Amino acid sequence: MAYENILVETNGRVGIITLNRPKALNALNAALIGELARALDMFEADAGIGCIVLAGSERAFAAGADIKEMQHLGFPATYKDDFITSWERLSRCRKPVVAAVAGYALGGGCELAMMCDVILAAENARFGQPEIQLGIMPGAGGSQRLARAVGKAKAMEMCLTGRNLSAEEADRYGLVSRVVPLAGLMSEAMKVADTIAGLSLPAVMMTKESVNRAFETTLAEGIRFERRLFQALFATADQKEGMAAFVEKRSPSFRNS
Ligand code: HXC
């Protein structure tokens, strides 16, 4: 099926989704979010894909939810239709997603980036939750994920004033994995994604699940959860292959089983 608001391609075992509404700085309208969900469904079902890269343009990862689309909404429709539900598809993706963020990642754009697992930021990236300036507030997890990522004081300042973070600040505060030159953003994101996609998919998926559990449970429960997954991986052929390859001083050849 054709896409109108995103570009979808593959490179080896990496699926690449590029947000593509350049005239609106990749403002996230319902059509785009629907297409994103469809592309994620496809990559998740594809055994040939081990990791996904989500990117925007050099000017904007995404400048937020589409304000023109939301402008005339009332509470009943916002509540009944609950359009944010479809945004959650990204946070439910079981395969790792690397966000390649250049330019603006504002409002829903910042929230989308925070739903990803690794965020690489170009030097020109700007992260912010400016919703307060529109008389609203973050609605796709921003107040929660930002507070967990950068702590209460910084999250409060960002959400209450709308101040953006530079890439350097975002790096210092732990919001992003690292900052890279704009020209090298996609190649770095592909390097990370290729590395992940070359590993054992069951181990990768369980690792993602385990790290995410850290944000949803107590330390003792999280550690129990991690241990069970760790033990489960000893039932995979890839564990045998990975350890045999180490002992035999060769590269492993994982079968994702
Ligand atoms: C709709 C948007 C948009 C958005 C930009 N555009 N952001 N359209 N929704 N979020 C459009 C502009 O209207 C304009 O279209 C074109 O993109 C270029 O934008 P400019 O403003 O002319 O560019 P510039 O002067 O460079 O300023 C860039 C900017 C600014 C600082 C990023 O566009 C901006 O402040 N955008 C809004 C950011 C924001 O408030 N985001 C949060 C949205 S609420 P025309 O047709 O005029 O050329 C949100 C809630 C999420 O995200 C909750 C969960 C669902």
CA angle 61, 88, 174 (to 5 degrees): 55
Take residue 199 and report the two structure tokens written for it.
């590993």
DSSP structural state of residue 175: S
Tell me: ipTM over 0.90.
Answer: yes
Work out the percent of the chain whose per-residue pLDDT is above 90: 100
Indicate whether 116 pLDDT > 80.
Answer: yes
Indicate whether 233 pLDDT > 80.
Answer: yes
Q: What is the maximum span of the chain, computed from C-alpha positions, in angstroms? A: 65
d(CA 223, ligand 1 centre) in Å? 42
Mutate to test the pocket of ligand 1, among 20, 25, 69, 145 (most ligand atoms within 8 A of CB): 25
**Mean pLDDT on 184-213:** 98
Mutate to test the pocket of ligand 1, among 33, 36, 59, 67 (most ligand atoms within 8 A of CB): 67
Distances, alpha carbon 187 to alpha carbons 49, 60, 193, in Å? 18, 18, 10
> From the CB of 105, is ligand 1 less than 6 Å away?
no
> From the CB of 131, is ligand 1 less than 6 Å away?
yes
Q: What is the pLDDT of residue 1?
A: 72
d(CA 141, CA 147): 10
CB atoms under 10 Å from CB of 43, counted, come to 22
The 10s digit of each residue's pLDDT in 57-100 is 999 999 999 999 999 999 999 999 999 999 999 999 999 999 99
**Mean pLDDT on 127-153:** 98
Q: What is the pLDDT of residue 164?
A: 97
Chain center to CA of 129: 16
Place of tokens 């080896």: 12
Average pLDDT, the chain: 98
Burial of 2 (0-12, 13-18, 19+ CB in 10 A): exposed
pLDDT band for position 157 (cuts 50, 70, 90): very high
**Mean pLDDT on 181-205:** 98
